Amino acid sequence: MKINKIIIDTDIGDDIDDAFAIALAMATPETELIGVTTVYKNAVQRAHIAKAVLSLGGRNDVPVYAGINEPIKERMTQFEYEKRGKDGLIDIRHYDGSMKKFGIEDGDAADFLLDSADKYPGEIILVGIGPLTNIAAAYARRPKSFAKFAGILLMNGFYGEVCPEWNVMCDPEATRAVYSSGVPVKTVGANCTRITQLAGEDLDKIRSLGGELGKLLNGMLDIGIKDNKRTPIMHDALAIATLYGDFTHFVRKRVYVPLENGMRGYTVSVDCENECLPAVEISLSVDARSFMDSFTDRLIRFTKK
């Protein structure tokens, strides 16, 4: 069995799916998780959340680096319910002060990404499940090191329909840069992830997760359901699952990431062979039932060890 080294770049701490994605990565023997980086609004708080998930899952050895808070060009979106702390940064919904005991690494997220690529040339798949600011910064800083990544797997974009998608909206300049980096990109779009809502028997399975990790995940799940008035969608976990299963059908398309007003946040796939546009593997369909069965069963087995 081939083991893929992976690094996850995440905006964990708002919706619950990032935390479940990290948990699924820990529960997936087909991958070797060698690091996590965090991005957007308050990357340090997000890093402590990620470290808590890792530590309670028995993977305190995985380093976590905080990255960039602000997108490349535009100011970040601040919602009415979001509060700023004494440091001036937005407090992240799933963070609490007790998570500081799960120490994070000193250093810069982009440098960690690049140093890892240099250390394991051609071996690492970089998994981006948040805004792509950290990843774009790494590419701009040392493109020769960045080229050593084996591939980039994203939860990003919306295909088959012309719709905006959150991770693109947060930093479309970063999305355009990453798509055009020259490293092979595969992206799971919201057109597929939107049908992976956690409900019914699947939610019951998650409620049965054991151990301290299960307790943390379900506590975060309660916050998400209360705030969003709905059960969550497993956007980011589906991206992780593509590392071990054929749940999602991909096709290779040229993709345009517009930056003009009115189209920021969109990704547009085109059929013509325009070499000015990057070629990207994009998701068009998903077997959501098979994915949800695999996802919940793996987490149950992992948390009951």
Query: pLDDT digit string (tens) for 197-240?
Result: 999 999 999 999 999 999 999 999 999 998 888 899 999 999 99
Q: What is the DSSP letter of 234?
A: -
Phi and psi torsions of 8, nearest 5°: -105, 125
pLDDT digits (tens, 9 = 90+) for 7-48: 999 999 999 999 999 999 999 999 999 999 999 999 999 999
Bridge partners for 68 per DSSP: none
The residue among 5, 20, 7 whose CA lies nearest residue 236 is 20
Instruction: Say what the pTM is.
Output: 0.97
CA neighbours within 13 Å on the CB side: how many for 275? 0
Across the chain, mean pLDDT equals: 95
Percent of the chain exceeding pLDDT 70 equals 99
How far is residue 238's CA from residue 267's CA, in Å, rounded to a whole number? 19
Q: What is the Cα 17 distance to its own chain's centre?
A: 9
Hey, which CATH number is domain 4-303, 3.40.1280.10, 3.30.365.10, 3.40.630.30, 3.90.245.10? 3.90.245.10
